[in-house]
Amino acid sequence: MESKERVTDALLDLIRRKRNGETISRKLISDETDCYASVVAIELGIEEGETTDEVRSAQPNPNAKLKVYMDHFQAKFLRETENYYANEKQAFLEHNSLTEYMKKERLRFFELELFQNEFGALLEANKYDDLARMYKLCERVEDGLNNLRSALESHITKEGLAAIV
């Protein structure tokens, strides 16, 4: 098994464990994602004729890391996510009513709102990789990007007013 496949599987396992309620740091997942991008970049660089030292010594380009994420990880991650939630829904409905399921989903949307409230903090901290991941997650939820757009407008307004004062 290639190293990028091992890292992919390890990262997906961390995400699965977090979804199942284990306490796993978001920083650990973020660091694993960065590791994933680096491993894939090294493998791709070597395949293109660069030496390992040349690839490792290069400063990582945030756009290249996002491209690696989108080209080599995102599709598998989205498939795993879809399967996870489809299985979770099926298992939940086997033992609970539709009303209980709707209550559970409402709680999940509340969690998404909390997640989106962190948007401003990520902007201020220049966490572009995390912002890109947030965008990708929010675009899959109805009105998710509208909420991010509102948060961005608020952030710009706040920063603009602070600059004027």
Residue-range domain boundaries for the chain? 1-76, 96-165
Predicted local confidence at residue 19, as pLDDT: 80
Write down the residue that tokens 């997650």 correspond to: 137
Structure tokens at 42: 């090294």
Predicted local confidence at residue 50, as pLDDT: 47
At residue 90, does pLDDT exceed 80?
yes
Considering the chain, what is the average pLDDT of its residues? 76
Question: pTM for this one?
Answer: 0.52
- Give every CB contact of residue 130 below 8 A, 6+ residues apart in sequence: 30, 122
- Please compute the mean of the pLDDT values over residues 18-25 and round it to a whole number: 79
Q: In terms of Cα–Cα distance, which of 3, 19, 1, 158 is closest to 84?
A: 19
Structure tokens at 52: 């390992």
Whether the Cβ atoms of residue 104 and residue 98 lie closer than 8 Å to each other: no
Q: What is the DSSP letter of 126?
A: T
The CA distance from 21 to 35, in Å, is 24
Q: In terms of Cα–Cα distance, which of 28, 39, 29 is closest to 5?
A: 39
Structure tokens at 163: 């600059």
At residue 142, does pLDDT exceed 70?
no
Burial of 68 (0-12, 13-18, 19+ CB in 10 A): buried
